[in-house]
Amino acid sequence: MTSSETAKATRVACWQPAWIGGESGRDDFLERLARAAAAAADGGAELLVTPEMSATGYQLGLARTVELAEPADGALADGVREIAVRNRLAIVYGWPELADGGVYNSVQLVGSDGAVAARYRKTHLYGEFDRSVFAPGDRMVVQAKLGSLTVGLLICYDVEFPETVRAHALAGTELLVVPTALVRPWEFVPRTLVAARAFESQLFVAYVNWYGAGPHGYCGLGRVVGPDGVLRAEGPGDAEALFVAEVDRAAIDASRRATPYLLNRRPELYGAAQ
């Protein structure tokens, strides 16, 4: 057996909360996060993934988003770090990041030791709301190590571009974490597109959404999909949920042997498409 085949699988918990709409403050979010983190840790998870803008809610309008924005090392980050250390659990959370004279749609991965392992700013801004409120990030591949597992970060609309996921696969990402705030009628994205992305780039994808009314109705349906395109765990479309999946490096190796897309690429033919 190879070392990857004998390595322990990583348990990943995904929290699909009810939409909060920006009406609750930082302390309320941290209380809700603490409950989810305790439940995830009790279930043996090593990583907890939360939705896009999980600390504030999404589609809040410019004034409210700016009001709730914080720097990456602000009081919100301090609260998340304390929860991570208390539960011995890495956490991915999202918030409006105040930086460089603007606001970014950001996610941050905090390790179980409380250290910030990675921060990603959404690069592909969707629609008038995103473009009128946020500055775009300029780094597409952001990664961190979780034990021996390489974790990459994207946000929502980013995953709908095959180039972003393929770039992660080529850079060595094994688990691609995608916090999202997806509304109806776009259920096609989690049900079909996320599985296609996982399969064509042969990595795990954890896609984690809100559920609830919101401005248009968040559709839930968060999920973890394996590198073979097979669903490993999913959230419902109509309820808060915490669901757990195992991410196994051996499954990635098996998928890449069975369907060697990455090995069989011919980038010299792709030109601008590569």
Active site residues: 52, 122, 156
Q: 206: which 2 tokens?
A: 């954890």
Distance CA 11, CA 9 (A): 6
Rounded Cα–Cα distance for residues 117 and 108 (Å):
8
Cis previous bond, 51, omega within 30: no
Cβ 217 vs Cβ 19: under 8 Å: no
The DSSP 8-state label assigned to residue 115 in this structure reads -
Taking CA atoms, 172 is separated from 14, 150, 249, in Å, by 22, 7, 12
* Continuous H helices in 43-107: 62-68, 75-87
